[in-house]
Amino acid sequence: MKEIEAQYPGATVYMHWMKTVQENVSTTLEQTREAMKKYYDRRVTPQPVIEIGDLVTLDAKSIKSKLRTRKFTPGLYRTLRVLEKEGNRALKLDIPAPWKIHPEFDVSLLKPNKVSDQPNRE
């Protein structure tokens, strides 16, 4: 290697320049990664714990309605029972037959059903 360095002094300068550029790029990428993580963590919400057999309320934003406008569609649909887990984030629900939609939904579209503490209320 000494022969090449002595024979081509421009190659050593170029090699040194490339190493400094690579170090600068890697530090900049790490700083960008940390900044993106900070802003992502600020708005992310933890995944709700939903087990098989639990009752959940389905969010209506992913379901097409036959009404002309979304203004009159419900924001949440009635409580449905979880039949099984499909992977890490998908759940299969007990959908009524007249609905004619696919029964698997992402956890972000489901809200755990809250049971009232007051007597004679469902």
Question: Residue ranges of the chain with pLDDT lower than 50?
Answer: 1
The residues, any chain, with a CB within 8 Å of residue 77's CB and separated by 6 or more, are 57, 58, 59, 60, 63
pLDDT for res 32: 97
The half-sphere exposure of 107 on its side-chain side, counting CA atoms within 13 A, is: 16
pLDDT for res 72: 64
pLDDT for res 76: 65
pLDDT for res 75: 60
pLDDT for res 110: 86
Question: Would the pTM count as exceeding 0.85?
Answer: no
pLDDT for res 71: 63
Does the CA dihedral 23-26-28-31 come out positive or negative? Answer: negative
Indicate the domain borders of the chain. Answer: 2-43, 55-112
pLDDT for res 100: 82
